[in-house]
Amino acid sequence: MRNSIEFEVYGKYALFTDPLTKMGGEKLSYQVPTYQALKGIVESIYWKPTLLMIVDDLRVMNPIRMESKGVRPIEYGGGNTLANYTYLRDVRYQVRAHFIFNPHRPDLAFDRNENKHHNILKRSLKAGGRRDIFLGARECQAYVEPCVFGEGGGYYDHVDEVYLGTMVHGINYPDETGSKEMEVRLWNPVMKNGVIHFIRPDECKLVRKISEMDMKIFNENNVEPADKLLEQLEKEGGSR
C-alpha cells in the first residue's frame, strides 16, 4: 500500500481501557488494542498535522492473558486512592498502517511532500520512534521495530473467528473531520486467524457526540516543512 509501514510493537503490559470500567475508579483492559491506541503509536513514531495516519490491520502474536494489580492512582482533588487495574500481559502485535494528507488542512498544503514524509516515517520507525511508545497507558512502556506483516507464527493463526463485542474504535477530532465537534466511534471487531482488519473512521456507523471543540491552529509559523526536517535528520544522522 502507498505510504505504508509495517511494524511490531511489544511490551510487558498493556491497558486499553474499556470506558465502562472507569465509573468506579477501576480499569479493565480490552482484549486487543483499539484503533485509536494504535493510531497513537503510529503518531509517536512520526506525526505532523499535515498527515492523517490510517491503521489498516492488526495481528495478535501472543496469547491474550490478563493480570490484575492493586494500584494507588492520584485523585483529581489531591492525594491517592486505592484501585484495581487489570492489564494485558506480555503483548506483541504486528501492525500495518499508512498515511494520507489531511484534506481538512488546506492551510498546510506547503508541507505536502509525500516522498519525504514517507522517508522520515521509515527512518523514525527504524530508530524506535520520535516519541516514547506506550500501550494504552503511560505506565505500559513499549517498543517498536520494523517487520514484515504476516511473517512468523502467531498464537491465533489457526483460530477461524473471535468476536470481540462492541468496542471503542476511536475519537473524531475537528482537525481530522473539519467539524467543530469531538465524537466517539464504536464498532464490533472480529479477529480472523489472528488478524483484525480495521474499518476506516468514516465507515463507522455508531458515532456519538462528546462535546464541541475548535480546530487547532497550524501554519508556517509553527510547522516545519518535511524537506527541512529531512535535511536536519540527514545532518544529524538520526531521527530524534
The phi, psi pair for 88, rounded to 5°, reads -80, 145
**Mean pLDDT for the chain?**
92
DSSP string, 162-197: EE--SEEEEEE-HHHHSSSEEEEEEE--EEBTTEEE
Give per-residue pLDDT as tens, 55-74.
999 999 999 999 999 888 77
CA 67 vs CA 12, 14, 21, 31: distances in Å: 11, 10, 15, 12
Tracing cell 508556517 back to the chain, one arrives at: 220
Torsion on CA atoms 192, 195, 201, 204, rounded to nearest 10? 10
Q: Which three cell numbers stand for residue 91?
A: 503483548
Cα(147)–Cα(159) distance, integer angstroms = 22
Entry pTM: 0.91
The C-alpha cell at 63 is: 496469547
Task: Measure the CA angle with vertex 182, ends 177 and 184; round to 5°.
Answer: 95
Amino acid at position 180, single letter: K
Residue type, 66: M
Write the pLDDT tens digit of every residue in 14-60.
999 998 887 767 899 999 999 999 999 999 999 999 999 999 999 99
pLDDT of residue 24: 67
Task: Tell me the per-residue pLDDT of 70-127, one tens digit each, with 9 for 90 and over.
Answer: 888 777 777 788 888 999 999 999 999 999 999 998 888 999 999 999 999 999 999 9
**Which of 204, 193, 190 shows the shortest CA–CA distance to 32?**
190
Fold of 4-222: Alpha-Beta Plaits (3.30.70)
